[in-house]
Amino acid sequence: MAVDRFARSKAVFERAARVIPGGIYGTKSPGFLIPGKFPYYLESASGARLVDADGNTFLDYLCGFGSQIVGYGNPAVEKAGSERSARGDLLNQPSPLMADLAERLVSRIRGMAWTVFAKNGTDATTLAVSLARVATGKRVVIAAEGAYHGAANWCSSNLFPELSQDREDLVHFRYNDLEGLEALFRRHRGRVACVILTPHHHPAFRPQVLPDPELYPAVRRLCEAEDALFVMDDIRDGFRLHPEGSHVRFGAEPDMVCVAKALANGWPLAALLGTERVRHAADSFFITGTYWMSGAPMAAALACLDEMDRMGGVDRMETLGTSLREGLEAAGREAGFEARVSGPAAIPYLTFDEDPNLYLNQRFCGAMADRGFFLHPHHNWFVSLAHTEADIESTVEAAREVFAEMKAGRA
Amino acid sequence: MRPFLDDLSAVELRVLARIRLAVTARLAAAAAAHDPGLAEHGSRPFRLALRVPGLPRAFVAKTEGPVTAWAGGETPVQRLPPDLTLFFPSSRDCARVLDGSAGRVFPIPGGWGAARALRYFRAAAASAPRMLRSPDTPAVLRAALLLEAAMSALVETANADPAMAPRLAHAPDGLVVVDAGGGVRRALRKEGGRLRSVRVPEDGQDAVLAFRDPESAVAVLAGKKSAVTALGACEASIRGLVPLVQGLFAVLDRASRYLAVKAEKEAGHGR
């Protein structure tokens, strides 16, 4: 009789579903993965490896949805965070580390003059949009179709009619469609507060798209003409595309930059950075949250920034990601599949040209999960500095087996 | 959406009436295949229309084949005048009467089969709820009836409720097959802001929502378990274009809120 390798995960889920809506909600819901092929609960992690509630081990390419950049449990980051925590994490006032980290970020993220801290990416994007509205005295926010900017009502996929007012002034254009973007500016002339974009387009369930070279110059020009602001949502890409902010890689000139995820290697911390132009609005805006200035994540962030540089940073992830992309595409071709890895090398996502409906993705990622590789079928992947050349080789080798099985109809 | 009929807006009332018309007509037709007691009523031809001013009519008819239903603007194959029209003067009356509450409905004879149509409808309208309530009803039949009702409600909610437009716009187009197990399968095609019921294709579906067995389908379709929980418990699976199915879940959620609207406020409620 076959043993269910996720028996404990499922048993916990059954209990959870009685007391937690959906059992596990949001992006971590089993329904976003492939139920029965991936674990629902994880117990521990180290480097690039996860251990689930049933004791199964996975080589991980989701990296805590991008938050792990120097590896799970990185000793330097954990030491810094834990030591700060032992001396007091959440206190009445921030620790002096807050100024240290702000200085470090402002000097590192190109073009930025100030920063404020929060917890989640949604905090940072929501704050950015609010500041843009206050600074410009206008309401309309322009975003790309399918882009994810968080789980707040102004931008989330909770399209309930009762919440429609919250999204009233959010309008969309097709990513890279410059004419569509210009048309939106024309239609909402005098009302546009900001454009918010991710450095590259990473919609769920679809191949990723790199920015057209004309996109960011056009965004800057249109924003200047409209006296609107440009917000770069660098939460997912941040620190993987360019050490000074992903906007530098693509030649973009934002007025505000949102970072989170990799900033503190999984310690809860987000930051919004801005130019002088927006400082007055940020000065006058009431910005707070009980946990937003806790010290331990800031200590972890300072250590994480050092570790990123020490471990090879963007260049190393680019090299590893390129090997992964080339290996997977070649393995797919050998088996007769048009498997294509889209996006920047450090943030890859594999889809099949011949299958826009993702049946092949689900077969591929399910079979890879059977072999102990955590490759999300519906969300982009991440390469981290904890991955090694040997990890990439073993992934490509396993993929070669899976493609062959898929071709033979066994997977 | 408010939980009582009196609290609904005019638009919501019309959507609810459309849903009740479609679900009633389709279950009345579906019951014929499963309830031997309906056989004598459904053996001879009749054409019945359910009508509310300003809404697409629903039809239940027995011509040459089995008893069949049309709703939501679908046109019956034979465009003959109905033998009997059940005329509801308002959406509110329709929603109340088809929910089993008091309301106005006027039978308008139009042909020789009027009496047969009325007899069939009276028997059939009670048949599906009775089968769904009975503990002796096999799970596969229960799943078939619930799926029929859910698909009807889904289509009407998607096409009639303006609040659904953003949800539908957010989901990709395509064809979804819902497999409730035990050979019970239905298909829907989403095109732009519209949804329609279509024949189940052999292949080429963009997404499949498959239940492990009819019991699992019944639990979700009867609202005893959420689809998300069923997915996690591996009692249901989605293959293919997941966002297409997720878009339908959103509509189904709205439809189930319509179906839960009560005609009367109970004591202690409605404050």
Per-residue pLDDT of B84-100, as tens digits, reads 999 999 999 999 999 88
Domain range list for chain A: 7-70+312-408, 75-310
Query: Which chain A residues are closer than 8 Å to B240 by Cβ?
Result: 357-359, 362
**In angstroms, what is the C-alpha Rg of chain A?**
21
Show pLDDT as tens, one digit a residue, over chain A (411 residues). Answer: 568 999 999 999 999 999 999 999 999 999 899 999 999 999 999 999 999 999 999 999 999 999 999 999 999 999 999 999 999 999 999 999 999 999 999 999 999 999 999 999 999 999 999 999 999 999 999 999 999 999 999 999 888 888 989 999 999 999 999 999 999 999 999 999 999 999 999 999 999 999 999 999 999 999 999 999 999 999 999 999 999 999 999 999 999 999 999 999 999 999 999 999 999 999 999 999 999 999 999 999 999 999 999 999 999 999 999 999 999 999 999 999 999 999 999 999 999 999 999 999 999 999 999 999 999 999 999 999 999 999 999 999 999 999 999 999 888
Q: pLDDT band at residue B36, thresholds of 50, 70 and 90?
A: confident
- Going by CATH, does the domain composed of A75-310 fall within 3.30.43.10? no
Tell me what pLDDT residue B268 has. 52
Percent of chain B at pLDDT > 70 equals 97
Helices B10-32 and B242-259, axial angle in degrees (round to 10): 100
Distance from CA of B207 to the nearest CA of A (A): 7
- Going by CATH, does the domain composed of B5-133 fall within 3.30.1050? yes
Residue A256 and residue A229 in contact, taking contact as beta carbons nearer than 8 Å: yes
Query: Which chain B residues are closer than 8 Å to A13 by Cβ?
Result: 232-233
Residues of chain B with CATH 3.30.1050.10: 139-259
Q: Residues 192 to 221 of A: which have CB under 8 A from any B CB?
A: 204-205
Fold of A7-70+312-408: Aspartate Aminotransferase, domain 1 (3.90.1150)
Listed in sequence order, the residues at least 6 apart from B108 whose beta carbon sits closer than 8 Å to its beta carbon are B84, B85, B86, B87
Angle at A335 between CA A333 and CA A341, to 5 degrees: 40
Which CATH architecture group holds B139-259? 2-Layer Sandwich (3.30)
Query: Which chain B residues are closer than 8 Å to A29 by Cβ?
Result: 228, 231-232
Tell me what pLDDT residue A162 has. 86
Chain position carrying tokens 């300072």: A302
Work out the mean pLDDT of chain B and round it to a whole number.
91
Chain position carrying tokens 């076959």: A2
Decide the pairing of beta strands A229-233 and A192-197: parallel
Can you read off the two tokens belonging to residue A162? 């009762």
Would you say residue B271 has pLDDT above 50?
Answer: no
A354 by Cβ neighbours in 10 Å (0-12 / 13-18 / 19+) ranks as exposed
Chain position carrying tokens 């009702």: B149
Whether A164 and B166 lie within 8 Å, measured CB to CB: yes
Please tell me the pTM assigned to this model. Answer: 0.93
Would you say residue B121 has pLDDT above 50?
Answer: yes
Tell me what pLDDT residue A67 has. 98
Would you say residue B266 has pLDDT above 70?
Answer: no
What is the C-alpha separation between A41 and B14, in angstroms, rounded? 45
ipTM score of the complex? 0.88
Taking residues B64-79, what's their average pLDDT?
85
Tell me what pLDDT residue B64 has. 83
Interface test with A, best of B203, B242, B251 (most A CBs within 10 A): B242
Residue B210 and residue B179 in contact, taking contact as beta carbons nearer than 8 Å: yes
